[in-house]
Amino acid sequence: MIQLTRPLRAIAIAGALLACAAPTFAQADSPIGMWQTIDDNTHQPKALVQIAEDGDGSLTGKVVKGLGANDTPDRRCTACTDERKDQLIKGMTIIKAMKKDGDHWDGGNILDPENGKVYKCKMTLEDGGQKLVVRGYIGVSLLGRSQTWVRQQ
């Protein structure tokens, strides 16, 4: 068995703690991860969305689970007008092509599966990376609405 001196042991412990904390630090400045969406009307949890990095470095978001009282695993996007028409909402990519632009992510779009409409999208982290303000809009950002999503561990 290897004997470590006190200073070396302290350095090894500090290194292990930093290695464990690194994913937490990375999360604080990136929306990559699992997010709980909130229903605008009921203010209750609506869905879990997994945001991930695409092959080109952009971010995408996929519905992992519906949390609403009326959600069923076979629920489909009947209002969609693109390739997602009549596709299952669970597993559907609703956020596409988001690129980092300073302290926010922009340039992509978000689908509202309730009405089938696709909006331009802007995302900004708040509260030390624990909240994500997602703004969907038409034309300019002033003409839209924002939702605050909560990071899930």
Domain CATH code at residue 79? 2.40.128.520
Nearest to 145 by CA among 130, 133, 153: 133
Domain that holds residue 68: 31-152
CB atoms within 10 A of CB 68: 14
- Per-residue model confidence (pLDDT) at position 3: 61
Q: Are 19 and 63 within one domain?
A: no
**Same domain assignment for residues 13 and 81:** no
Q: Do 39 and 114 fall into the same domain?
A: yes
d(CA 97, CA 106): 8
Same domain, 13 and 73: no
Per-residue pLDDT of the chain (153 residues; tens, 9 = 90+): 456 565 444 444 444 434 444 444 445 699 999 999 998 888 899 999 999 999 999 999 999 999 887 788 899 999 999 999 999 999 999 999 999 999 999 999 999 999 999 999 999 999 999 999 999 999 888 889 999 999 998
Output the six-digit token pair for 131. Answer: 């909240």
Q: Give the span between the Cα atoms of 69 and 136, in whole angstroms.
A: 24
Asked if residue 125 and residue 88 are part of one domain, the reply reads yes
Tell me which H or E stretch contains 18.
helix 6-28
Task: Report the domain count for the chain.
Answer: 2
Q: Do 84 and 130 sit in the same domain of this protein?
A: yes
Same domain, 18 and 44: no
* Residue 128 main-chain phi, psi, to 5 deg: 65, 30
Q: What was the pLDDT predicted at 26?
A: 44
Q: Report the distance separating Cα 93 and Cα 149, nearest Å.
A: 16
Do 37 and 80 reside in the same domain of the chain?
yes
Statement to judge: residues 24 and 35 lie in one domain: no
pLDDT for position 68: 80
Tell me: do 47 and 80 sit in the same domain.
Answer: yes
- The per-residue pLDDT for 141 is 83
